[in-house]
Structure formats: C-alpha cells, structure tokens
Structure 1
Amino acid sequence: MKLISWNVNGLRAVLGKDGFAWLAEQNPDFLGLQEIKVSEKDAPKGLYELGFSQIDLNSAARAGYSGVASLAKFKSETSKALFFPDDEGRVLQHRFGDVVLFNIYFPNGQKDEARLAYKMEFYAKFLAYARSLAEQGLGVIFCGDVNTAHREIDLANPKANSKTSGFLPIERAWLDEVEAAGFVDTFRAVHGELRDAYSWWSYRFNARAKNVGWRIDYFFISA
C-alpha cells in the first residue's frame, strides 16, 4: 500500500495548475492533503476526478483557512478529531481493519504565545490518544504537516532558528516523546542521517532554488 501526504497550501490553486499530474505515475492508495483552504460545501469538482473511491474533508469554521482532505482507494470508517475540539479542520481519522490512519495539519506556533500553547496542547492530547490506540493493539499511522523540524539535520539553518517556532526546544522535545512512545519516523528509518532533505521552503529569498528548507512533514508508524 502506498501512502502520500502533501500540504497543498490551497487546493484550488493546485488543481488550477494541474498540480496533480504526478498522480498517474505514483498511483497512491491514499493521499492526505493539508491546508486545503476549502469547505466540504464548496470543494472544487476536480477533487472528485482524481481517481479515488472515498474522499473525506474536514474544513475549518473560518473560511479559507486550514482544512484537510483524505483521498483513498479503500473504504474506511472516518471521523474527525476525537481527542481535541477541532473547529480549525485539522484532523481526519480513518479506521480500516486493525489500523488507524490519521491525516493531520498540526497547528503552527507562529510568534504568539497563545498559539504556541494551543499547539503544545494539541500535540499532547494527540499523542496520548495515539498511544491509547496502540496500547489496544491497533496499528497506528499518522501523517501530515507537523510544523516542527525535529533535529538539526532537519533544517538548513538550525542555529539561526533556535528561537523560532517550529524549532523550539519544547516543540522538538515532543517529537522525542513521539519516538519514545514507539512511533517510528519512516523517513529516517529509510534514509538514516540524510541531509538537505526538506519538505517546506519559504517563498522569500529564493529559498527553494537554494534548498534552504525545513523537514516538517512526516509519516510516523507504530512499531
């Protein structure tokens, strides 16, 4: 089974640029999209023409903000966040057989203490919930934009960003907890200490062309 996760930062724009042309070659069984910025009511028609049999959306109460969509070629029991109030449209949970798969757009701590506190509360409650599922003998997979780079090799400029949300010690410590709880970062499991491998780049300063980025998107699986 092939699973793919992608923060699209606006679903309409990606569809308008034929941004899913790669799907035919990759042929995933599951595609988790984050930051779709559309609601269930006004989701673009093109979303339903990508070749998936089950499509689920969770949109934010605030228009044009956040939101996640899951596209699958298999059936699952789907629910929204069961561990945290989710008026920001951040979570889709899928149960198929003895496996629970999460597609999550984790909060950004920004430069606001209140948002950082919200992010850390979301982190804590999600991990407690994921652990409880694993302790019941279920396989747990979670993917999406975690909005934190874990280690210094996960971003181009660790020292310059040591006091920036997304690389704060408290945020990185949560990812330590995730691994201590038995969840495996699949990228590192496959690629080891590979450097210069990022999933997000600023739009400023030609960052993508220079590969000055951050690895903040993950797949974690229960061991």
Structure 2
Amino acid sequence: MVTPSSFAITTVNVNGIRAAVKQRNENNHGMIPWLSSELPDVLLMQEVRADEATARKALASALDAGWHLSMAESDVKGRSGVGILSRTAPTAVRIGFGSDEFDTAGRYLEADFELGGETVTAASLYLPSGAARTENPKDVEKYEEKVRFLDEFGPYLDRLLASGRQIVIAGDWNIAHDERDIKNWKGNRKNSGFLPHERDWVSARLDSGWVDVAREHHGDVDGPYAWWSWRGKAFDNDAGWRIDYHLVSPALAGRATRTHVGRAQAYDRRWSDHAPVTAVFG
C-alpha cells in the first residue's frame, strides 16, 4: 500500500504506445485500464515509437484524467522514444545526457518531481539492444553503437551520483547483469545483453554506489523476470530476462520499501512483451 508520504515509480517498455493502448482495451487488459488501476506516481516509458502529438492522441483519456506527459522523441520515425507520465507536473525536464550522438535518439529523459517531501529526479532510459559482434556488418554496427553509448553514459551516471541528488534511473537497460537475471544464461553467454563487457559495465555502476533496488529486495533468487519473447512458450514457462530495473542513488535506495513485477495473469492479457516493474519508496 502506498501511503501519503510514499511514492511509486514504475518502468515499462511499452513496445509502441499506440499498440499498448489499443491492445486488449476492449477486455479491460490494456495499458489505460492498467494505469487507472495501478496509479503509480511516475511511469517511465520506453520504446514509445511515436512523436509527441501521436503519443498525446493515444494517451488522450489519461491526459484528460489529469496525467502529465513529457517526451523525448527519436529523430528516426517509428523508432525508440522515451516518455514520462506523472500524476503531478514535473518541476523541470531534461532531454539527453549531453551526447552529440544519442541526445536526439529518444533514449534518455529525466524530470524532477516533488515526491515524499523532497525533490526526486526520475529518468527513463532505453539503452541500445546491441548485437553480438559477428562478421555481419549490421551486427558490428549495432555492437559498436552500444559500446559508444555505454562509454558516454557511464561517466554521466558517475557525475549524477556525485551530485548528491535523489535519483531513480529506470528503464530497459538491455543488459542482464548476472546469471540470476536470465533463465537461459548458459545459452546466451555469447549474445547481446549478456556479454561480459556489458555485465562488467553494470557491475561498475553498482560498485560506484548505484543500488539495484529490486535485486536488493528480492535477494539471491532467479529473476523476477520482466521480459519474455512473444514467440513460443517463453511467457508460459517463465523463460525470461530481468533487463528492466531501477538504479537508485544510495540515500533514496534506503527508502525503498517494496518492488514488484506486474506480470500479466496470462499470455493473452499482455499489452507489451515487457511487464511493468515498480519500486515503492517510503
């Protein structure tokens, strides 16, 4: 239960905002019914895949009900895009992290809110998915893009942490940190999202002081996963990945009281291939 002094921040890769809103709404299983039921204080969205005007049209019923939308569009139509839905208006919004290459790619958006009696920065991240480095030029391009993003974003996270602000960065990190975070880890050791240099990059963030609050709260267990392929029986067999998580500045992480994955009750009730992941702070 979220008390008046506590707040909830949820992250979800919506896999296309128009599809997430349209999908299964007629059976009360889509994104809008979920939003009305769960009522997080802040919802961090990834892969919006729409410009702001289109996103506002898709989310019109939520905006009419008082939700506030902030967006960082991609400069490539129909790709990427991150957004923040909030129950109160942000006091400041910032797009990007000072990258000439990535600030127009719709991959990072942060906003300040008055939550729980203090100013909290909540950021939505959609990290590139990358690829294993093969002889295929497209794989090489995706691999190198992810490396460049990590090389630029890591120092930015270090600076954020050093600022002393209360910060939550959540989203689709596209990296499973360790074997507990992926069901078939043995079969994915050479695949993007579980490559050694990617996992080492996450370890470096945790070693610097960022806290993975879900791992802290769930302990040494497998998962809980929040992404499952649409294909086959991945969802039914819980053969998933934990690539959607919150990294939180230490003082604020100490106020985390609960985290949970909003896993759909059945395959046909999913409105994205990702499930919402929520962290509650008291």
TM-score scaled by structure 2? Answer: 0.75
- Aligned-residue CA RMSD (Å): 1.6
Match of 1:67 in 2: 81
Distance 2:86 2:168 in 1: 15
What is the CA-CA distance between 1:37 and the residue it aligns to? 0.8
Match of 1:105 in 2: 126
Q: Which ranges in structure 1 are unaligned for 5 or more consecutive residues?
A: none
Q: How many residues align?
A: 223
Match of 1:78 in 2: 93
Match of 1:13 in 2: 19
Distance 1:127 1:77 in 2: 23
Q: Is 1:158 paired with 2:185?
A: yes
Asked if structure 1 preserves the Cα contact closer than 8 Å seen for 2:97 and 2:153, the reply is no
Asked if structure 1 preserves the Cα contact closer than 8 Å seen for 2:72 and 2:81, the reply is yes
What is the CA-CA distance between 1:52 and the residue it aligns to? 4.4
Distance 1:15 1:213 in 2: 23
Asked if structure 2 preserves the Cα contact closer than 8 Å seen for 1:130 and 1:140, the reply is no
What is the CA-CA distance between 1:105 and the residue it aligns to? 0.6
Write the mapping of 1:171-190 to structure 2, written as runs, cut at 5 A.
Answer: 171-190=198-217
Match of 1:24 in 2: 36
SS in 2 for 1:63: coil
Distance 2:43 2:120 in 1: 16
SS in 1 for 2:186: coil
Write the mapping of 1:36-55 to structure 2, written as runs, cut at 5 A.
Answer: 36-50=48-62, 51-55=65-69
Q: Which ranges in structure 2 are unaligned for 5 or more consecutive residues?
A: 1-6, 133-138, 251-282
Match of 2:47 in 1: 35
1:88 to 76, 81, 105: 105
> Which structure ranks higher in relative contact order (CA pairs < 8 Å, sequence separation ≥ 6)?
2
Q: Quick check: which has more Rg, 1 or 2?
A: 2
- Give runs of ≥4 in structure 1 deviating > 3 Å: 96-99
Asked if structure 1 preserves the Cα contact closer than 8 Å seen for 2:9 and 2:42, the reply is yes
What is the CA-CA distance between 1:145 and the residue it aligns to? 0.0
Identity across the alignment (%): 35
What is the CA-CA distance between 1:221 and the residue it aligns to? 0.3
Asked if structure 1 preserves the Cα contact closer than 8 Å seen for 2:131 and 2:143, the reply is yes
TM-score scaled by structure 1? Answer: 0.93
Asked if structure 1 preserves the Cα contact closer than 8 Å seen for 2:171 and 2:245, the reply is yes
